[in-house]
Amino acid sequence: LKSVRSVDELIVVVGDVMAAHTAIVRRCGILHRDLSTNNIMFCRDDDGMVRGLLIDFDNAVLQSDLHNEQRPDQIGTFPYMSIGNLEQSSVERTALDDWESLIYILDDDDDSDEDEDNVFDKNPEPAASLDPGIGPTATDPFAHRVEFSNAIVDDLLKVVQKHRKVALERIKDAQISE
């Protein structure tokens, strides 16, 4: 994943992966539960365009099986696990846990990789400030997340797909000008 050539390519890969992830959740009822840098790959088409791939469904589970768990399993690759997963919250795991893992993947700051061309280190954006009036309560930090999961995933996917479209246009424009 770190060998993509530009931020635009990274956006395309992430867009493809999360669109596939969402389709698998909605059409098949399967939750991946292990998004990590090792489980997101990309390939190049004959025309040089990148395509993102989500692999390794070893920890995947049918969402219907999660409804019956008293305490959900702590599953995934440690640095990319959702807070609810790490805290072993009794709240049911949803697609939001995998989307949260994506945030940690994009924020991955592997110091062992000294590659100056690492796209993850280019143009870092400052983190947005959080609105204290929105979000979990102190008594139940994971309250309401299952209820709003589908709506939030819809919004996240729309944003990712919008940026993917723009990134694809920039990549094509760059190929034309070469």
Mean pLDDT for the stretch of residues 26-38: 95
Q: What pLDDT does residue 80 have?
A: 93
Mean pLDDT for the stretch of residues 129-137: 42
pLDDT, one tens digit per residue, over 53-85 is: 999 999 999 998 887 666 677 899 999 999 888
Name the pTM for this structure. Answer: 0.75
Mean pLDDT for the stretch of residues 101-128: 59
Specify the amino acid at residue 157.
L
105 in Cβ contact with 80 (< 8 Å): yes
83 in Cβ contact with 48 (< 8 Å): no
Q: What pLDDT does residue 143 have?
A: 55
Mean pLDDT for the stretch of residues 114-135: 44
Q: What pLDDT does residue 127 have?
A: 37
Alpha-helical (H) ranges within 24-107 are 63-66, 83-86, 95-106
Q: Compute the distance between CA of residue 74 and CA of residue 86 in angstroms, rounded to an integer.
A: 7
Q: What pLDDT does residue 152 have?
A: 82
30's tokens:
């399967």
Q: What pLDDT does residue 88 have?
A: 84
2 in Cβ contact with 115 (< 8 Å): yes
Q: Compute the distance between CA of residue 149 and CA of residue 119 in angstroms, rounded to an integer.
A: 30
Q: Which residue has the tokens 């996917």?
A: 157
Q: What pLDDT does residue 123 have?
A: 43
